[in-house]
Structure 1
Amino acid sequence: MGNFELGYANNIINVLWDFTPCIFGFLPTRRRWINTGANIIFPLSACIGGGIAWVFARYGKRKALILSASISILGGSIKMIRAYPAYLLGRGIMGLAFGITNSISPMFVSEISPPKMRGILMC
């Protein structure tokens, strides 16, 4: 799930590059700054999420992954609001969830997989 979240949430903005000014009502000349803000907030908040993942992992990795998925759904829901600050907030929340998921999911997969399959599943 973590890799899907990274691939989709981080790169979908590049597909929508030309439509961003129309969606938020900005002039096309400000497009660079609009997309820079949206592109930079996801990895920054993912770093924070990766740093605080150990707090959630103390309560169990499965619960932490469920919580991370819930946070991601919340971020995606906020992104649907048609306002640029809400979009940035939603991307930040989704980045936080990605950082948590990306930190915890490899440990979880290695714990639940059979010993013969661990190396293959971890690749």
Structure 2
Amino acid sequence: MPARQHRVTRGDDYRRTVRAGHRVGGAVCITHAVLRAPGDPARFGFIVSKAIGNAVTRNLIRRRMKTVVERRLHAGFAEADVVFRALPAITGAPFEQLEREMNRALDRVARELPLRGADA
């Protein structure tokens, strides 16, 4: 699980990221991202609604998403707030597809927002 410094924890931060952030669509999740100040660590948030399934399913999806984020943090992703909103299609997606979709979205965010730690 990402350290606290790498998590979006406040509702205001979620709202700001989703409403004002750059949006990247995907088959299994929607990604929203905004820049942070230079030198700040990347922070990630996850929205997994009850439309996804029961609590066991939602927590499994959230844990998988956190694993992808941890791998990306180790690769050097920084200076952005990113919120992933899971779509119902995520329940049938294998982990490899989820990882591919999330990395594609983060690559697009890195290209479209001038992130300095995004060369991963």
- Higher helix content, 1 or 2: 1
Larger CA Rg, structure 1 vs 2? 1
Query: What TM-score do you get using the length of structure 2 for normalisation?
Result: 0.30
User: Relative contact order (C-alpha < 8 Å, sep 6+): which is higher?
Assistant: 2
Query: What TM-score do you get using the length of structure 1 for normalisation?
Result: 0.30
